A and B are shown apart, each in its own frame.
Chain A
């Protein structure tokens, strides 16, 4: 019994002493993931730079037009607005996902498809990974506004 306790202590010690900074980072993120409420997809904000988005009551038409331009040039190779293509259609996405989740999926797809439960399932369904098209946060926000018009 004593030996077992001792061994546990040692292995714990080993684990901690060997943990690189990368492991620690991963741990931190796991904690965040735990805090993230995933029971309701509308409350899942995903993983990435976006923690909160304010959506206006009315659609910002100028911003949506800008977003459409970006969508056409950077996203249409894989997404059609209203039907499944390489990836899912963005039409109605804000009824299924939080705005933060959508923007994080655009801005941080590599991590999302590895660590976010919804994104992981989407990758299994669509197989093609979501490409990181290196949009700025402002551009991603415009695309989000465009999605409101679909």
Chain B
């Protein structure tokens, strides 16, 4: 009995100790169950994809939500030696421009294609800011499929956002410039420079882009834009700053006017003008680069003209909506009624009403014009104002319950407020200095109001330090309840400038597993080991090579000479998911190749030294991966070593 009692006592102590223990560890995140909300167990999948722009890295990164795990960095505007992007012969044309081959850009605003105002998961578009370009990325292969250069544009910032049925992806210029470009004094900017807003049509079948028309606007700076949706479908809204048309010290000189404008563009009207022939055709020179999934290669074509519309000659095409103090974000709610202008330097958020805008236009209640474009009266079009919401408003997205969420850069917070009543419902700090925010579908008729991602400009003390350069960072909030809840910090590549997100099931099933060999139309594809060969054409030597677990064919090549240009055309013969092979050649002055199953890629090698030089597979492919290797014999120029190739002596 006594023994039993002792046992019971011990047991109760144990229970107390364990409970105590639990309490002790349940501090911080665990206390509120936050950790569980972002925990995706090993082997399980996230619920959402997040495509977060790499900003000045030029790339687009794919993350899972809620875990914040990084899945892939899709090379878009910058070369990527890991994937041979911009290094192999197949992808080099994608980075061609009117300025020649450009290996870098500043990627800003991704947007997923839509049908009927809802995300359709076919493509994602992103702008290159610096050398103006728009890229289309396939959401089947998660690879860049097309890059279109934008002429008459500079600092392609108010880009790129899609209309409700992806009729257009729209790209607005940040800088106004002489159009056409010419040698002229900078001080003559005012009245002479122009800003181009480009409407790029998207082929509904294959996604191919082409510039349908450009609207040549006054020489302001065009900052951001968004399409009208639902009731305002057919319109597009662009924020402007520097309506002062200053060309120096914009920090001061572009902040003089009490109000700048949101430009409301009626693109259906533009279509009518184009149809009626009211456009001018301007000479231009811009690159149109298209990657083909069947021949695994890109081509670059220079296009030579563009259609332009002058708003002063096209009544009803553009109206200016006065909006306080250098508005930055320009966001349209899911109903299409409200257009939110975030005056960077204003104390309040201005929300315009689409219904009131139409009424004012109908009543012709204008407050003068700017370069022939009618200016509406502020008081006639304002739906409401969110008073004193924070400092430095930038961007707004929406949930599916009639709420809006705005980021504030200076006060470093995200603020939730109610559409219609304009009352502030909640605010949560961001760490630190938040720029854009993203709610999956938050730029469509159908937002998924579960998570919000804040993308921060400054990280400071949030992670272990890594020298002067800190990683940049995103933060995940749960917005399903009345109050927002900070769940997770996660580091990002480059600068997480902006993002687009969608439910996982929209893309998961369509994701390509491998390329079918019998559909491979690459001109240098080798579909069977029997067809491998080495062909000399003068100083150019073409190696038709195959790879499979775990050997190259051929793996012994002789008869190459210093001064030759060797083209390794390598086909991965695997026909299974997730079996890429790599190819590294000693002394190759470009990169490795990373070849997906069924794909063909080409690496150029210009041997500089006599010797027997090895190559090997770089992507761990099987237990015999380390054996996947070969030799190339390089002889002196003029040597008579015959061209020979073999695998296992055959």
Contacts and interface: CB of A to CB of B under 8 A. Distances in A.
Given A129-B623, A134-B514, A74 B573 contact: yes
B528 A72 contact: yes
Interface stretch (B213-221, B290-298, B546-554, B608-616): B546-554
Contacts, number: 49
B23 to A, nearest CB: 26
A132 B576 contact: yes
A140 B527 CA distance: 18
Interface in A101-132: 127-129, 131-132
Contacts of B573: 74, 77
Nearest to A109: B576
Contacts of A134: 514, 575-576
Interface size class of B (residues with CB under 8 A): 20 to 34
Interface string A78-101: 100000011000000000000000
A129 B579 CA distance: 12
B624 interface: yes
Contact of A131 (B529, B574, B624): B574
B517 interface: yes
A72 B532 CA distance: 13
State the main secondary structure of chain A at its contact with B.
loop
A134 B528 CA distance: 16
A32 interface: no
Interface in B506-549: 514, 517-518, 527-530, 546, 548-549
A86 B548 CA distance: 10
Contact of A72 (B518, B530, B574, B624): B530
B622 interface: yes
Given A72-B530, A76-B529, A134-B514, A128 B549 contact: yes
A131 B549 contact: yes
Which of A73, A86, A129 lies at the interface centre, i.e. has the most chain B CB atoms within 10 A of its CB? A73
A36 interface: no
Nearest to A80: B650
Contacts of A73: 517-518, 527-528
A29 interface: no
A128 B574 CA distance: 13
A132 B548 contact: no
Contacts of B518: 73
Contacts of A77: 528-529, 546, 548, 551, 553, 573
Contacts of B527: 73
A20 to B, nearest CB: 11
Contact of B550 (A74, A85, A128, A133): A128
A92 B648 CA distance: 23
A143 B518 CA distance: 17
Given A73-B528, A76-B529, A134-B514, A129 B576 contact: no
Contacts of A129: 549, 622-623
Interface residues of A, number: 15
Contact of B622 (A74, A76, A128, A132): A128
Contacts of A86: 549-551
A133 B576 contact: yes
A72 B517 CA distance: 13
B418 to A, nearest CB: 44
A131 B579 contact: yes
Nearest to A134: B575
Interface in B624-650: 624, 648
A74 B517 contact: yes
A72 B528 CA distance: 6
A76 B530 contact: yes
Contacts of B529: 76-77
B574 A133 contact: yes
Contacts of B528: 72-73, 76-77
A131 B548 contact: yes
B575 A133 contact: yes
A77 B545 CA distance: 11
A72 B526 CA distance: 12
Nearest to B516: A134
Nearest to A123: B623
A131 B546 contact: no
A43 B548 CA distance: 32
B530 A128 contact: no
Given A76-B529, A128-B624, A131-B549, 17 more contacts: A72-B528, A73-B527, A73-B528, A77-B529, A77-B546, A77-B551, A86-B550, A86-B551, A128-B550, A128-B622, A128-B623, A129-B549, A129-B623, A131-B574, A133-B575, A134-B514, A134-B575
19 contacts: A72-B528, A72-B530, A73-B528, A76-B528, A77-B528, A77-B529, A77-B546, A77-B551, A78-B548, A78-B549, A85-B648, A86-B549, A86-B551, A127-B624, A128-B550, A128-B623, A129-B549, A131-B549, A134-B576
Q: What are the 10 tightest A-B residue pairs by CB atom distance, in nearest-first order?
A: A77-B548, A133-B575, A132-B576, A134-B575, A73-B528, A77-B573, A77-B529, A127-B623, A76-B529, A72-B528
